[in-house]
Structure 1
Amino acid sequence: MNLPRIIATAALLAMTTTMTACGAQEGGQNTSGKPSKKVTMNEQQAIDRAEEIIQQAVEGMSPKPTLERMGPLPVGPCIARDDHGPDDRVQVTVAYKLTGVPGSEAKNLVRQARDAWLKQGYKYNTSGEVDWSGPFPAIYMRTEPDDFWMDAMTGVVDRAKGEGLASIGVKSPCFLPPGKASASTAADPAAFETPQADDPAARRALAHSSRIYDALRVGSAPTQPGEGLSTVRDESGTSVHHTWSTEPLSEEERVRALARVEAYFQSAGWKVRHMPTLEGTPAVVAGHPEERTVVQIAASTTGAVRVAVTTPVDGPSSADV
């Protein structure tokens, strides 16, 4: 795989894991702004439903793409915890690259996914019609009533030729697996572990968080439940996650902080993309072209800015690459 395709893949993967699209929550409201009920399912049920939504999009596509799984997935911690739900909640994210078709067909595949989902009665989760005038559109939708969020998008492979790499991703609502009913229930140690202090990936994640903190230039909030360092293992590999939040900010302060951190990423050679959010201020998603580290930064409904750094354990031994 060449470097442009690697960069496009990293950006596509990051976009499927944005922090503000957490789906239905336990109590309070879900991400569509409607009252929600407690969400209980098991991981296999969530994966099966996500796969069903993806198949609904691709089964009628022409030309027919090959689905190539993206990782590290599918089960991970629920990052967005604005409703202060139980710490044991998890989310399932299933994402595929659509390969085996010409790069010029990426836009067409996104449009076909949109049409297929609309036929299923699914809704847009952003206001306004998609701008199809450019070669690299993206759509963001959700299911009703179960509130799975999905996207179909293109990562740029060759801008001059208008060639892209299409992907499809589905994220489940945050849910409590059966048998886990409170914040005091420990997560499965085989899936979520605290990294060792001398773990290279943990040091790399913390180093990136430190640089992001310097770029944001706002104070950090005390560590909230579910934040901090964790190691996540699944069939596709092992990654270290570091999540944290700033103190609550005004809208103007959030916009300025996000602009500063975006400028940092661009100056440091990261590939940066925006993702629309219900909060209005776009999330910043950045991919490191060498490490396969992905950073997601988004405004929270609490007024804070939430940061999530995900880095593979098999990356370079230092963040100074």
Structure 2
Amino acid sequence: MSPEPVPERTGPETIGPCIARDDHGRDDRLQVTLFYKLTGVPGSEARNLVLQARDAWLKQGYKYNSSNKEDLSGPYPWVSMRTEPDDFWMEGITGVLDRAKGEGIATLKVRSPCFLPQGKSSTATTTDSVAMEVPQADDPTTRRALAHSSRIYDALQVGSAPTQPGEGLGTVRDESGASVHHTWSTPRLSEAETVRALARAQDSLRRTGWTVRHVPTGAGVPAVVALHPGEGTVVQLAPSTSGALRVAVTAPAFDPATEDV
């Protein structure tokens, strides 16, 4: 890159379990994210750094996930790319520092595909490093996860199906800490019903400040992944090949001494 920035790295950080499989079997796969904030250059260069990242990714043969042509031509472009066939996802984002002066800061983000941690297998047990426990009902993180899940339920407007094996509420513990994971499914929907339900959920999430992205699925309709910028909570809405829409909310546990209950 020119001018050459100083990359400040954050992560890799676990963003929570992947959504349960279509057969509702247990799934101990994880995803991780890695951030690089590009510092040490004038704020006026942030836009160019993001576009240079895009050009470099295109030369590597990576594919667009999404981008907004109007955004790319503006002072604060962003771009989302993915690798093939291993399916890593990269984002180049221009954050605003001084809108009046057109200054920003460039950030690169990489998210891994779902993977099993070293030493684990698809038949992992609760004695492994990623364990599911039943959380306490009065736990603040549990209440937060259930509240987000309830708002997703209201936004989708399609109801819920009976709880399947592998669904429900659990506390996930791994090397990055603890989080509460709540999963459930809708009844079987037509593709048109799925698209409309996802559109309602996306609108609700965006209006309340969530960052929303799309992920290709085998079901044809892209899944929705949303991140709450303040909490780090992740919401996943994934169309299933069975026709159901699978919902997962992963809320990281906060220090009880600092959490605002």
* Short-chain TM bin: 0.7 to 0.9
Following superposition, the deviation at residue 198 of structure 1 comes to: 2.5
The reply on whether 1:253 has 2:193 as its aligned counterpart is: yes
Inter-partner Cα distance in structure 2 for 1:97 and 1:169? 9
Amino acid at match of 2:150: S
State the secondary structure of the residue aligned to 1:74. Answer: strand
5 Å matches for 1:6-45?
Answer: none
- 1:108 equivalent to 2:38? Answer no
Question: What do the CA deviations read for 1:151-206 (whole angstroms, capped 9, x no partner)?
Answer: 12316435843635423213134347546353xx4144553332223321012101
Which stretch shows the higher mean deviation, 306-315 or 173-182?
173-182
Matching residue within 80, 91, 96 for 1:157:
96
TM-score normalised by L of structure 2: 0.74
Normalising to structure 1: TM-score of the pair? 0.63
Letter aligned with residue 283 of structure 1: V
Matched with 2:167 is 227
Q: Is the CA contact 1:125–1:141 (under 8 Å) kept in the aligned structure 2?
A: yes
Root mean square deviation of aligned Cα: 3.5
Please name the residue that 2:233 is paired with.
Answer: 293
SS in structure 1 opposite 2:19? coil
Q: Deviations over 1:47-70 (max 9, x none)?
A: xxxxxxxxxxxxx67422323314
Q: Describe how 1:1-321 pairs up with structure 2 within 5 A.
A: 62-70=3-11, 73-74=13-14, 76-79=16-19, 81-82=21-22, 84=23, 87-101=26-40, 102-120=42-60, 122-124=61-63, 126=65, 131=69, 132-134=72-74, 135-144=76-85, 147-154=86-93, 156-157=95-96, 160=99, 161=102, 163-175=104-116, 177-178=118-119, 180-182=121-123, 185-188=124-127, 190-194=129-133, 195-266=135-206, 269-275=208-214, 277=216, 279-281=220-222, 283=224, 285-287=226-228, 289=230, 291-314=231-254, 316-318=259-261
Tell me the alpha carbon deviations over residues 218-276 of structure 1, each in whole angstroms, 9 at most, x when there is no partner.
Answer: 12133345433233344544322222222221222122222322343355x33343436
- 1:213 CA drift (Å): 0.7
- 1:251-310 deviation digits (Å, cap 9, x = unpaired): 22122222322343355x333434363534562525254x44333334344433332222
3-state SS in 2 of match to 1:219: coil
Whose strand proportion is higher, 1 or 2? 2
Higher relative contact order (CA 8 A, sep 6+): 1
CA distance in 1, matches of 2:216, 2:143: 30
Q: Once the two structures are aligned, what percentage of the paired residues are identical?
A: 42
Return structure 1 stretches of 4+ with deviation > 6 angstroms: none
CA deviation after TM superposition for structure 1 residue 116, in Å: 3.6
| Structure 1: 5+ residue stretches without partners | 1-59
Taking the aligned partners of 1:97 and 1:213, their CA distance within structure 2 comes to 34
> Could you list the runs of 5+ residues in structure 2 that have no partner in the other structure?
none
CA contact (8 A) 1:103 1:163 kept: yes
Q: 2:171 is matched by which residue type in structure 1?
A: T
